[in-house]
Amino acid sequence: MSKKEIEQKMRRAAVWQLSEKGFTVDDVSSGSGVPKLSRLELSKSGSVQNCITKFTTSGRIHFVREGETFKVLHDFDLVLHIYASSYDSECVKVSLFTRATVEKAFNAAYEALVGVGQANIPIWLSPEFEDGLRFTGSGFTDEALWSEVVNISNAQLDHLAVGDESPESGAGIMEQIKSLLSKHMGVHSDQLEIDVRIKH
């Protein structure tokens, strides 16, 4: 499995956690270079909010400063932080933040860099505290709306639907067949091996 495929599986685990929290999730990702499940619309109790997801194996996330705001960030209500310590990790830490919390952290970092004449340096921040001027603003993990560690193998990814999209959307035909069989047989798709033979 490629890193891109692993990342998508981890993103799906994070979306599964959102559904466990009672959200209805629509994937509204679009555009060149925008990964699936990176832009979400979350509905709960009649309220609809836009959410940007940030996947990371370092813990740090990045937003580009543009004028007086951070590009992209200001278009969203929520930020979903998806942290895996490596691509081999069995778990991801999923944390949901308000835009205001993340914006406050990034503004603090920007102001600190402006103070030393380094406003041009890209800002990468982790919710976990990191020492040093460049990481000013980090350490906002306690301000999360909620935070959960999700075991990827326990997440019901084969039964996860995002909006009107079926779980198999975008998957190859063999993955789709495996997913359908896994539901029918009550086993995880990773436990199935399909042998195809052509009759002459």
- The CA-CA-CA angle for residues 154, 160, 164, to 5°, reads 170
CA 127 to chain centre: 14
Question: Which carries the bigger pLDDT value, residue 30 or residue 21?
Answer: 21
pLDDT in tens, 143-156: 999 999 999 987 77
Q: What is the pLDDT of residue 23?
A: 94
The phi and psi torsions of 5 (rounded to 5 degrees) equal: -70, -40
User: Given a cut of 90, is residue 137 above it in pLDDT?
Assistant: yes
CB 138 within 8 A of CB 128: yes
User: Considering only CA atoms, which of 121, 188, 130 is closest in space to residue 159?
Assistant: 188
pLDDT in tens, 165-195: 434 444 455 555 665 675 566 555 555 667 7
What is the per-residue burial (b if ≥16 Cβ within 10 Å, else e) of 128-153? Answer: eebeeebbbbbbbbeebeeebebebe
Q: What is the pLDDT of residue 156?
A: 72
Q: Is 41 exposed, middle or buried (0-12, 13-18, 19+ CB in 10 A)?
A: middle
- The mean pLDDT of the chain is 86
How far is 80 from 178, CA to CA, in rounded Å?
29
